[in-house]
């Protein structure tokens, strides 16, 4: 049931889903309007005057013209894919993936293809005097096709503007930031929650369960798996984290007591989902990597775009500051009695803090403004961190930057001055004690 549920949930996210809905609506609309015309529905006088009445040949010409617009749209989409593919070599392959899952693009394609299907269905109902039976022109349906054609033109113009905006680095970085923040928000387990706790999992004994397939672990139905474990009176420890690659036959979970492990294998297959590529849904590391990759690519040899790197560092700060502003999340889901049922392997705060520094710093040691952006990120972490160790960790990254920076004398002086100012401004002084305290 878990895999079926996951498949059903994933359907609305597929690129073809929205266009399929519009095409279905077009088929229904064509049948309704043609049926209304055939039934000789008596329309009010002002409606008849408003409708554009035309003969058989005129109606066919109008519908053919509207249907032909799909060719223009097809050319535009082909050009768009070419532009996105070219841009992806600079900003990363995620650009194509984000384009495919963008709901606005799906709606535009859905309306254009639905208009084409609608006009074909209406066109086949038009009959002239020379055909069998009396002449028939579905005026309501033809006028609706004209309205759809006008909508298509406006959508097409808007789509060009939308594509031009979507390939701008600011838009890409902002989209990656939203993915990161969403992943950070969805995957934190409140340690004070009713069914959450935090303690180390046992390592000895237990039955080892191997992965039945190869791929990347993309999603875990945490609560459902914990409930199944409670029903079977077992404890499950995941040996892989979301985002990890798994090979068929590789250990993926451990179950206690060992003699009941075989009974939980089917549930594990249902609630551990793998795919050929990673997803930002539960994969916090991959969601953060999308933004960091922008900075790394911007500073790679042959590109040298420090302002894009600075923008990416500023965007990644939103998720990082959210993480450091709260305590470490729970790693265990317990049952109503408090017994551990599912041991998880959440991403640690230290990993999220280290990633932008360790990944971007090696590529930007000769560029002062990018190093200053990292120093600024460290300062913001020091202010937001609730754990003093996290604040000290950020401070150590600044020391590493100063030690490894390869700047000329002028830039080196400016960087040291920037660090000194940053440290002074982010030093929090305790509030003054009231007199007599």
Per-residue pLDDT tens listing for the chain (437 residues): 555 665 666 677 777 888 899 999 999 999 998 888 877 556 555 455 555 566 677 778 888 888 887 787 787 778 777 777 777 777 776 656 666 677 888 898 899 999 999 999 998 888 877 656 677 888 788 888 989 999 999 998 898 888 888 778 888 888 889 999 999 988 899 988 889 998 888 878 889 999 988 999 999 999 999 999 999 999 999 999 999 999 999 999 999 988 888 888 888 888 999 988 888 889 999 999 999 999 999 888 877 889 999 999 999 999 999 999 999 999 999 998 889 999 999 999 999 999 999 999 999 999 999 999 999 999 999 999 999 999 999 999 999 999 999 999 999 999 999 999 998 887 754 444 444 43
Structural Rg of the chain based on CA atoms = 30
Closest C-alpha among 229, 277, 275, 279 to residue 254: 229
pLDDT reported for residue 163: 82
Q: Residue for token digits 């492990």?
A: 261
- CA-CA distance, 415 to 409, in Å (whole number)? 10
Compute the C-alpha angle 254/224/212, nearest 5°. 45
Contact assessment for residue 415 and residue 407, using Cβ atoms and an 8 Å cutoff? yes
Which one, of 408, 422, 409, lies nearest residue 375 by Cα?
422
Residues whose CB falls within 8 Å of the CB of residue 359, separated by 6 or more in sequence, listed in order: 292, 295, 296
Residues 315 and 377: their CA atoms lie apart, in Å, by 10
pTM of the model: 0.80
The β-bridge relationship of strands 215-220 and 272-275 is antiparallel
Q: State whether residue 273 is helix, strand or coil.
A: strand
Q: Give the H/E segment covering residue 252.
A: strand 251-256
C-beta neighbour count of 245 within 10 angstroms: 12
Q: Selecting from 3.90.1170.30, 3.40.630.10, 3.40.50.720, 3.40.50.1820, what CATH number does the domain 196-275 have?
A: 3.90.1170.30
- Terminal-residue alpha carbon distance, the chain: 63
Runs of H (alpha helix) within 205-339: 222-232, 261-271, 284-298, 306-324
């Amino acid at each position: 049931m878990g895999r079926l549920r996951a498949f059903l949930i994933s359907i609305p996210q597929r690129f073809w889903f929205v266009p399929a809905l519009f095409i279905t609506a077009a088929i229904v609309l064509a049948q309704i309007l043609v049926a209304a015309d055939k039934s000789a529905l008596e329309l009010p006088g002002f409606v008849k005057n408003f409708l554009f009445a035309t003969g058989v040949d005129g109606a066919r010409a109008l519908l053919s013209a509207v249907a032909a617009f799909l060719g223009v749209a097809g050319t535009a989409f082909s050009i768009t894919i070419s532009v996105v593919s070219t841009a992806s070599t600079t900003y990363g392959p995620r650009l194509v993936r984000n384009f495919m899952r963008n709901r606005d693009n799906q709606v535009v394609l859905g309306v254009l293809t639905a208009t084409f299907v609608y006009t074909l269905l209406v066109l086949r109902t038009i009959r002239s005097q020379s055909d069998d039976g009396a002449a028939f022109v579905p005026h309501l349906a033809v006028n609706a096709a004209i309205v759809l054609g006008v909508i298509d033109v406006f959508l097409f113009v808007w789509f060009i503007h939308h594509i031009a905006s979507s390939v701008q680095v600011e838009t890409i970085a902002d989209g990656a930031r939203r993915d990161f923040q969403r992943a950070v928000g969805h995957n934190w387990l409140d340690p004070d929650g009713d069914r959450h706790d935090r303690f180390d999992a046992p390592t000895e004994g237990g039955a080892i369960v191997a992965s039945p397939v190869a791929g990347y672990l993309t999603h875990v139905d945490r609560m459902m798996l914990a409930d199944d474990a409670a029903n079977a009176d077992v404890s499950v420890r995941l040996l892989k984290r979301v985002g990890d690659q798994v090979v068929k036959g590789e250990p993926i979970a451990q179950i206690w007591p060992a003699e009941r492990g075989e009974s939980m294998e089917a549930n594990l297959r249902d609630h551990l989902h793998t795919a050929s590529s990673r997803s930002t849904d539960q994969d916090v590391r991959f969601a953060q990597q999308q933004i960091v990759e922008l900075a790394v690519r911007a500073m790679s040899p042959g590109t040298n775009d420090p302002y894009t790197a600075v923008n990416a560092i500023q965007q990644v700060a939103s998720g990082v500051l959210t993480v450091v502003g709260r305590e470490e999340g729970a790693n265990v889901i317990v049952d109503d009695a408090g017994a551990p049922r599912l041991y998880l392997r959440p991403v640690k705060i230290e990993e999220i803090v280290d990633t932008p520094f360790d990944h971007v710093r090696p590529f930007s040691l000769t560029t002062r403004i990018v190093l200053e952006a990292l120093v600024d990120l460290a300062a913001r972490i020091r202010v937001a961190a609730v754990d003093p160790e996290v604040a000290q960790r950020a401070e150590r990254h600044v020391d590493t930057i100063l030690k490894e920076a390869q700047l000329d004398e002028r830039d080196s002086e400016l960087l040291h001055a920037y660090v000194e100012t940053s440290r002074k401004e982010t030093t929090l002084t305790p509030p003054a004690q009231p007199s007599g305290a």
